[in-house]
Amino acid sequence: MSFLNPLFLAGFVTLAIPILIHLVKRERAQKLYFSSLRFLRPVHQRTLKYLRLKNLWLLLLRMAALALIVLAFARPYSRSWEKPPRVARARLVAILIDHSFSMGYKDTFLRAKNKARAVIAGLTAADKAFVAAFGTRLSNQSPPLSDHHQLNAWIDKIELTPSATDYVNGLSAAGRILSEHGEGRHKVIYLISDFHKTGFRRQDEFVLGHEIELKPIDVAYESPENLAVSRADFVKDGQLGDSGHINVRAVNFSAQRKSATLRLVINGKELGRKDAVINKESAEVVSFDKITLFPGSNRGRIELSDDDLKIDNTYHFTIDTDYKVKVLMVTQAGKNRRALIFAEQALSIGAYPPNALTIKSAPAVKAADFEEHDLIILNEIDALPADHIKSLRSSLERGKGVWFVMGEPMDAARFNAAFGGISPAKLVPTNSASSAPMKAGRVDREPRMLTFLKTDHPIFRPFAERHSGNFAASVFFAIMPLEPKPEATILAKFDDGSPALLEAKVGKGVVLLYSSTLDDRWNNLPLNPVYLPFMHQVARHAAHASQTRHAFTVGEAIPLERLLPISVEDMMSEKVTVLDPDGSQVRTPGAVIFAEKPGFYEVRSEKLIKYVAVNPDPLESDLRRMDINELASAVTKLNSRRSETREAATPADEEQTKETQEKNQSWWIYMLAASIVLLAGETFLANQAASLPTR
């Protein structure tokens, strides 16, 4: 038994009051001695004992009445006591069915539909429900219905899609619908899914309304196994010609070693097969050598031997041999060539699209050079002439890219004065003396490590997959102290929170700032295998080389101006036709392709034909399951921003539960009623005792 007001139990001391009164007020028989009675035998002893026993029962009645009054004020209740059944409120039920491509594993999607039908069968006549599918967004939504046949018909319409999973988007949309249409009803969400980890990436961005009950239904297999192709890269064998090799990345998401066969098809022709053995929970790179491409655009695909999830066994890609990214690296005068060797080799060798790299010193560079290149790397440069900076800004306005790379010696005041209008951050001087040169960069006693990467950004998206590279293995001995601008985006941070890579938009262009060096003076990143793909990704993104990307992901919005060498205005006046992988014409609102199917999209204008490769999100191929309780607690917690607030709210929730339990049981009413009965009985017995003749 528990008590809602346990302090009232101190009232048990009042039980002493009847005892004291009994002892003080009890009548004592006076002994009168008569000489004539001394020779008689006493006969009233038995009657006196009877009167004492009778008064003892009165005492017990008074004490019991007081005890019940005290207990009633303490408000007792039982945690294990079951409430009597109450009439349930009518419900508004949201039945959410995951139709992302991970549900295509074996018969998982069929199991999900059967579970949804079982939920519908359990609805009462007063309940209403709506059915919806979700992947990255809510779709195939029915209106709130009470007819079971209509609801089942909506379930039949839902089909498996190649989209990824986003539980936050699905739950938030369903929550809004329940709030709009569920006035006066008990609101419930049945979430039917395989609950893989990668579908819940934004734990602190969403909280389900407290009035909505979430009921997850797991339809996943216990230990799913899956193989997938996540990437294919073309690497030129030399600077001349269009021959090279294609590196294919195959991933084993299973808990045991797997064998697979990979097939390479270019422009509809099979160019090779390779067998691979992939260790458990790891990736294997398979190389197809001596691949010669046609001039112009080439379409390719990698086919993996079938398993229980087939949609990610084919990877589509394109290779355009005609396009090159023109990169200009501006360095300090007299810069040691060794300091540039890492960046020079990374940008020149094996890059796709291929980089045409030009290196010039700051005194030798001309303002017109910026107009002729797609990407300008200012390597440890703290100032340029005014006309150069004007040309740099003009290039950015038209869509070029600029990448600031830090180093020493650099003057913070000069840099801020020269590039403050376009840089994503200000340089913080390390010397406090105003007369001293305000240099930046310092060797730290405790080296830093890269621990945060914005993996949804194009630069780091390839590194979001498991076994795709470890930036945390690199050590940074020195960095440039930076003060990011409010409009800047931090793409990478160190373990102490210092920014490593920042981005800002200037016109149509991109400006990046890297707080360390491209060589091994301030860090050992150039010795890490991720250095080469990192440099390629930065160059590709900053140079706006999206039209040369191997492949896009289902769900991406692809601007047509990135694919065709014409402006948006010309695109509106010129007839441009877009066909999806099935050959159906698709609409392009805002001159943007919304990639919804894997395969090749065909973009036709009057002058040329361009192909766009689209693949399912590789993160969706990872079928590792998440803790369902973790998901439920994350989206139903009262406050997701501060754990202190959550902890403070917990006792209040418990107190509310106590009050509800006590209110439903209401034992105090019966105790007060019993105490009144006892007091009435005690009064009656006391009067009876008082009316007995005194002897």
- In a domain? residue 38: yes
Per-residue pLDDT band at 546 (split at 50, 70, 90): very low
Domain boundary (567, 589, 618) is at 618
Take residue 569 and report the two structure tokens written for it: 């205005």
Query: Residue 545's pLDDT is what?
Result: 54
The type of residue at 452 is F
What dihedral angle (degrees, nearest 10) is formed by the CA atoms of 522, 528, 530, 535?
A: 40
pLDDT per residue over 104-130, tens digit each? 999 999 999 999 999 999 999 999 999
Lowest mean pLDDT among 77-86, 252-261, 297-306: 77-86
- Check whether residue 612 and residue 629 sit in a common domain: no
Per-residue pLDDT band at 385 (split at 50, 70, 90): very high
The mean pLDDT of 405-423, rounded to a whole number, is: 90
Higher-confidence residue of 572 and 417: namely 417
- Check whether residue 423 and residue 530 sit in a common domain: yes
- Check whether residue 293 and residue 339 sit in a common domain: no
Per-residue pLDDT band at 338 (split at 50, 70, 90): low
- In a domain? residue 495: yes
Per-residue pLDDT band at 146 (split at 50, 70, 90): very high
- In a domain? residue 645: no
Q: Which helix (H) or strand (E) holds 266?
A: strand 258-266
Q: Which residues contact 318 (CB under 8 A, 6 or more apart)?
A: 297, 298, 299, 300, 550, 551, 600, 611, 612, 613
Q: Say yes or no to pLDDT of 151 above 80.
A: yes
The mean pLDDT of 609-624, rounded to a whole number, is: 91
CATH code for the domain in which residue 150 is found: 3.40.50.410
- Check whether residue 401 and residue 536 sit in a common domain: yes
- Check whether residue 218 and residue 250 sit in a common domain: no
- Check whether residue 153 and residue 130 sit in a common domain: yes
Query: Residue 643's pLDDT is what?
Result: 37
Per-residue pLDDT band at 551 (split at 50, 70, 90): confident
- In a domain? residue 20: yes
Q: Say yes or no to pLDDT of 313 above 90.
A: yes
Per-residue pLDDT band at 341 (split at 50, 70, 90): confident
- In a domain? residue 53: yes
Of the chain, the percentage scoring pLDDT greater than 70 comes to: 78
- Check whether residue 317 and residue 329 sit in a common domain: no
In the beta sheet, which residues pair with residue 331?
Answer: 361
pLDDT per residue over 499-523, tens digit each? 999 999 998 889 999 999 999 889 9
- Check whether residue 527 and residue 452 sit in a common domain: yes
Lowest mean pLDDT among 93-97, 245-249, 476-480, 641-645: 641-645
Per-residue pLDDT band at 431 (split at 50, 70, 90): low
CATH code for the domain in which residue 573 is found: 2.60.40
- In a domain? residue 86: no
- Check whether residue 429 and residue 520 sit in a common domain: yes
Per-residue pLDDT band at 30 (split at 50, 70, 90): low
How far does the chain reach from its first CA to its final CA, in angstroms? 48
- Check whether residue 333 and residue 317 sit in a common domain: no
- Check whether residue 522 and residue 559 sit in a common domain: no
Lowest mean pLDDT among 233-242, 449-458, 563-572: 563-572
- In a domain? residue 83: no
- Check whether residue 254 and residue 206 sit in a common domain: no
Exposed / middle / buried, residue 351 (Cβ in 10 Å: 0-12, 13-18, 19+)? buried
Q: Which residues contact 298 (CB under 8 A, 6 or more apart)?
A: 266, 267, 318, 319, 320, 321
Residues 634 and 546: their CA atoms lie apart, in Å, by 36
Parent domain of 597: 552-618
Please state the domain count of the chain. Answer: 5
pLDDT per residue over 461-496, tens digit each? 888 877 677 898 899 988 999 999 999 999 999 998
The type of residue at 560 is L
Of the chain, the percentage scoring pLDDT greater than 90 comes to: 42
Q: Where are the beta strands (DSSP E) in 343-384?
A: 355-361, 375-379
Q: Which helix (H) or strand (E) holds 317?
A: strand 314-320
- In a domain? residue 388: yes
Domain boundary (321, 343, 367) is at 321
Domain boundary (272, 291, 321) is at 321
Q: Which residues contact 534 (CB under 8 A, 6 or more apart)?
A: 459, 471, 525
- What DSSP letter does each residue of 79-145 carry, written as one string? SSPPPPP-PPPPEEEEEEEE-SGGGGSTTHHHHHHHHHHHHHHT--TT-EEEEEEESSSEESPPPPB
Identify the top-confidence range among 196-205, 332-341, 373-382. 373-382
Per-residue pLDDT band at 653 (split at 50, 70, 90): very low
